Amino acid sequence: MPKEKKPKAKKQFELKSPRGVHDIMGEEYFSYQGFFEKAEEIALYYGFQPIETPILEQEELFTRSVGEFSDIAQKEMYTLRTRGGDKLALRPEGTAPIIRAYAEHGMHTRPQPVLLYYRGPFFRHDKPQRGRFREFRQFGVEAIGSDKSIVDALIIRLFLAILEEVGITNLTVDVNSLGDKECRTEYKKALVAYFRKHTGKLNTEGKALLKNNPLRLLDSKDPVICELKDEAPETMEFLQGPSKQHFKEVLEYLDSMDVNYRINGNLVRGLDYYSRTVFEIVETQEDAENENDSDEKEGEKKKEKKEEQPRALELGGGGRYDLLGKMLGTRRPLPAVGGALGVDRILMHEKVKKLDPRIIKKPKVFFIQLGFDAKLKSLPLIDNLRHAKIPIQQSLSKDKLSVQLASVEKLGVPWVIILGEKEVIDGTVMVRDMHDRSQKTVKQEELVTYLKKHIARA
Ligand code: HAM
């Protein structure tokens, strides 16, 4: 008799967020808000204006721009088909949507370059690990409509300013230039010729990259490819005429601003739309900094330490993408440059300062109410205080004096307002100065004036 197939046990539903995404609340929420406020303040200072594009875009916007064979297009994009049959994607990055918005709203008629900044969540279906999430937040800037090298330098400076202001100061900028279309074509040819000589050593993934997207070989973490990379041709050898001059100028600007940068000839970045300048911002690793002045033994020790130590996370990156407009179908070429900071990674950094957003006001007054009649009068009184911009704390759901006073002690609030049954009848409140525990009865209609006069010295 054939064995009866056991029905598969239904997986129990768990009240849990999906892997790689998480809730943000409490102090963490305020840190994000504080960070974005700081970043926006600096971006506005440099002349950038805000834009918010939708989280859903047409899938093709990204397959056309990040490159068909990029990791994003191949495996990291969250895509969906609507009932009407449209193919949409949760945005994996912000640059292509900005160019879409630029074209859609005819921004070429505005004074150029158009300087825009944006903030918000992005989605990539990658393996979650330290500093890598499936939903993550970026703060990005894009300067569209200028090919001037000073704009590339400005964006790097702006990002460093934001990072420094939030407390991360030991930073290195990795820079490279991929050159223009012609330089890139020549470079690709040389790279393919080099790796072809070593095809025997490449695994299947490496061979596929060599065939479809050879530049991505330089991003590979595969140890064999990493070793081969050291001897591979570098983009810089292929820079010609205007591209060479452009990169030289970018470096001169960085020098003039004392930016701690290093030229990394293997830096290509994972998105296909880059040309000329590319950059990444990482925390300076002490070992790399001191490598030159260490003797051999020390060098060995440092090498071991370096291997133990996790690779510095890239806090932000970007570059020039003069060819993206055309890739997306704009009629005219659209020189542009931009970058994005990885906000989750930045806020995980141990050196980040406590970033209180502006809406958080430290209250100097605690409001205590006793009895139902006092509760009834509390809300209108608190409303008056809010209109007068006097921040307070309260625990309206609590009844006992001792419980409410315990909160006062815990928070260290210097002033307390007490509204009891007697005060309700008299139309007054009791104001207690917590420094010397002195108390004063104040008429309800004079409370705002009294507090304004007295809390200023608290
Ligand atoms: P990206 O290098 O892919 O560039 O991302 C920018 C930053 O976002 C990274 O440096 C990293 O800090 C952060 N990031 C990326 N993926 C994740 C993740 N899975 N989890 C946490 N953080 C992550 C872009 O997205 C380009 N659109 C930047 C750009 C703007 N280029 C020109 N303009």
| Rounded to 5°, angle at Cα 415 from 418 and 29 | 105
Mean pLDDT value of segment 395-405: 95
- How remote is the CA of residue 317 from the centroid of ligand 1, in Å? 6
Look up residue 182 and give its two tokens. 């012609």
Ligand 1 lined by 364 (C-beta under 6 Å): no
What's the CA gap between 151 and 134, in Å, rounded? Answer: 31
What's the CA gap between 171 and 163, in Å, rounded? Answer: 9
pLDDT of residue 302: 44
Nearest to 396 by CA among 365, 364, 368, 431: 368
pLDDT of residue 149: 98
User: Rounded to the nearest 5°, which phi and psi values hold at 433?
Assistant: -90, 115
- How remote is the CA of residue 423 from the centroid of ligand 1, in Å? 59
Task: Give, for ligand 1, the residue of 139, 345, 348 to mutate: max count of ligand atoms closer than 8 Å to Cβ.
Answer: 345
Residue bearing the bigger pLDDT, 159 or 271: 159
Mean pLDDT value of segment 245-265: 97
User: Rounded to the nearest 5°, which phi and psi values hold at 14?
Assistant: -115, 140
Ligand 1 lined by 274 (C-beta under 6 Å): no
pLDDT of residue 311: 66
Whether the per-residue pLDDT at 87 is higher than 80: the answer is yes
The per-residue pLDDT for range 279-298, each reduced to its tens digit, is 999 998 765 444 444 444 44
Task: Give, for ligand 1, the residue of 129, 138, 268 to mutate: max count of ligand atoms closer than 8 Å to Cβ.
Answer: 138
Report the sign of the C-alpha dihedral through residues 448, 450, 452, 458, in that order.
negative
Lookup result for tokens 């899938």: 59
Look up residue 425 and give its two tokens. 């009848």
3-state class of 281 per DSSP? strand
Ligand 1 lined by 93 (C-beta under 6 Å): yes
Band of pLDDT at residue 3, cut at 50, 70 and 90? low
Whether the per-residue pLDDT at 88 is higher than 50: the answer is yes
pTM given for the model: 0.89
DSSP annotation of 6: P
pLDDT of residue 422: 96
Mean pLDDT value of segment 130-141: 97
Band of pLDDT at residue 310, cut at 50, 70 and 90? low
* 187 neighbors 233 (Cβ within 8 angstroms): yes
Other C-beta atoms closer than 10 Å to the C-beta of 206 total 20
Rounded to the nearest 10 degrees, what angle do helices 241-256 and 149-165 cross at? 30
Whether the per-residue pLDDT at 221 is higher than 90: the answer is no
Which residue is closest in CA terms to ligand 1's atom 10? 316
Average pLDDT of the chain?
91
pLDDT of residue 143: 98
Whether the per-residue pLDDT at 216 is higher than 90: the answer is no
Mean pLDDT value of segment 405-416: 93
- How remote is the CA of residue 216 from the centroid of ligand 1, in Å? 16
Mean pLDDT value of segment 424-447: 96
Residue bearing the bigger pLDDT, 361 or 368: 368
- How remote is the CA of residue 412 from the centroid of ligand 1, in Å? 42
End-to-end CA distance of the chain: give it in Å, rounded: 87
Q: How many residues does the chain have?
A: 458
* 367 neighbors 393 (Cβ within 8 angstroms): yes
The per-residue pLDDT for range 17-44, each reduced to its tens digit, is 999 999 999 999 999 999 999 999 999 9
Band of pLDDT at residue 78, cut at 50, 70 and 90? very high
pLDDT of residue 307: 44
Query: Which atom belonging to ligand 1 lies closest to the Cα atom of 341?
Result: 7
Whether the per-residue pLDDT at 1 is higher than 70: the answer is no
The per-residue pLDDT for range 345-364, each reduced to its tens digit, is 999 999 999 888 998 888 89
Whether the per-residue pLDDT at 308 is higher than 50: the answer is no
Ligand 1 lined by 67 (C-beta under 6 Å): no
Task: Give, for ligand 1, the residue of 53, 72, 91, 93 to mutate: max count of ligand atoms closer than 8 Å to Cβ.
Answer: 93
Other C-beta atoms closer than 10 Å to the C-beta of 88 total 18
- Give DSSP secondary structure letters for 11-23: PPP---PPTT---
3-state class of 138 per DSSP? strand
What's the CA gap between 378 and 246, in Å, rounded? Answer: 66
Mean pLDDT value of segment 117-136: 96
Band of pLDDT at residue 74, cut at 50, 70 and 90? confident
What's the CA gap between 69 and 187, in Å, rounded? Answer: 18
Residue bearing the bigger pLDDT, 392 or 11: 392
| Rounded to 5°, angle at Cα 334 from 330 and 338 | 120
Whether the per-residue pLDDT at 309 is higher than 80: the answer is no
Whether the per-residue pLDDT at 144 is higher than 60: the answer is yes
pLDDT of residue 280: 97
The per-residue pLDDT for range 174-183, each reduced to its tens digit, is 999 999 988 9
How many helices, marked H, and strands, marked E, lie in the chain? Answer: 17, 16
Whether the per-residue pLDDT at 61 is higher than 50: the answer is yes
pLDDT of residue 95: 97
